[in-house]
Amino acid sequence: MSSGAGGLPALVKTRRALGLVGEEARVRGWVYRKRDLGGKIFVVVRDSEGVMQVVVDRATAPPEAVRAAEAATIESAVEAWGRVEADPRAPGGAELRAEGFVLHSRAEDFPIKGGEGVDYLLDVRHLWIRSRRLTAVWRLRHVALHAMRRYLDENGWWEVSPPILTQSAVEGGATLFEVNFFGRKAYLSQSAQFYLEALIYSLERVWSLTTSFRAERSRTRRHLYEYWHLETEEAWARMRDSMRVAAELVAAAVRGVLEGASEELSLLGRSTEPLERAARPDYPSITYDEAVELLRRKGVSVEWGDDLGADEERVLTGYFDTPFFVTHFPKHLKSFYMKPDPGRPEVVLGFDLLAPEGYGEVIGGSEREDRYEALLARIREEGLNPDEYRWYLDLRRYGSVPHSGFGLGVDRLVMWIAGLDHIRDSLPFPRFRDRIYP
């Protein structure tokens, strides 16, 4: 191992150091665990890639190293160097026998001891995000996003940067967060869709990753008021074209995690069998009509035209062991911009992609209404003001073409891939009603 500054071993991450058995290494991070057994002090050091046990032997380590290890507390910032030796009892099967140990910053008594309730952990979220479990989620999330970005890059999509502030509603007006924009009324974006639709006339295939905001009163294990939204829009595309992209994108994310975050999946206790089945994008598809029939078979009281909520979606997922599509929803359940099916105008060319194992919807998309008069009629039918959608209507006046797109809830996708019980653990700082922190 080459030497670093001051003749010390080169600085490496714990994950790499575990593989340097018989060599010198230097690691740094924060104290995850500590045991003082008299002759030896065992300090488990945590960094961004994992943990490694450092052994400070009072008989052989320099006195200043022993004093530093003695003074170190949980979450203190430390640095250690020495020889890496195999030991099956140590985390990762190896440990660092310290020849030097430095205490960079001594932590006060850490307020998380283990066994605390959810409310308390939310109050100290800024500290709880250091936990190994949540850190594994952050790494898995990064890998999934990287895989989806790579898929889009390799398939001719252009990433764009739409604004978060808007003057019009994409979804229901009742779920808008109002903002005072220098004395004028504006809203936090529910979706980048309208801006992406404008951009297809120059770039044809566009996508964005932004935060979206929904002022829904729902408070369930899969709802957030601020969430990360990966959205696509494609010129010349029909509904089935967009469904194919959605399936390939999710499958790419799953494959990326299976290949690049296997250790994280193991730490989270996530079975890989459902993910291995989802790694191929040949997802089944049912219509809304068929979904209603499947629900009735399970004893669910549902009529044609009823919305399918979380409970209904959970029942439907019991029929499938991979993600699956539900298509052709009743028009009154969906947004005004969705194009009606020409052969059956009471339903729209829209789709949801549901994750199995009870997780439910992770993607919603549709073919957009590309005819000016038809879109204007739908806006009026919904009781909306056409003046507020003038620029959106303009897109249908100047070279309109068939186009489709979808929105993927990144947090919901991560929740399913990681096998999490609650969406709050899919991102570092979740936003709930009446609770903003830190």
Q: Are 404 and 241 in contact (CB under 8 A)?
A: yes
Pair type for strands 403-409 and 324-327: unpaired
Backbone angles phi, psi at 112, to 5 degrees: -105, 115
Cα distance from N-terminal residue to C-terminal residue, the chain: 42
Q: What domains sit in the chain, N to C, each tagged with a CATH number?
A: 5-105 (2.40.50.140), 123-426 (3.30.930.10)
Q: How far is CA 363 from the centre of its chain?
A: 13
Q: Can you tell me the distance from the alpha carbon of 42 to that of 37, in angstroms, rounded to the nearest whole number?
A: 8
The string of pLDDT tens digits covering residues 224-251 is: 999 999 999 999 999 999 999 999 999 9
The string of pLDDT tens digits covering residues 164-216 is: 998 876 665 667 888 999 999 899 999 999 999 999 999 999 999 999 998 87
The string of pLDDT tens digits covering residues 330-387 is: 999 999 999 999 999 999 999 999 999 999 999 999 999 999 999 999 999 999 999 9
The string of pLDDT tens digits covering residues 2-55 is: 566 568 999 999 999 999 999 999 999 999 999 999 899 999 999 999 999 999
Backbone angles phi, psi at 368, to 5 degrees: -90, 150
What's the pTM? 0.94
Q: Can you tell me the distance from the alpha carbon of 376 to that of 390, in angstroms, rounded to the nearest whole number?
A: 9
Q: Three-state DSSP class for 430?
A: coil
Q: Can you tell me the distance from the alpha carbon of 278 to that of 140, in angstroms, rounded to the nearest whole number?
A: 16
Q: Residue 350's beta-bridge partner residues?
A: 366
The string of pLDDT tens digits covering residues 244-286 is: 999 999 999 999 999 999 999 999 999 999 999 999 999 999 9
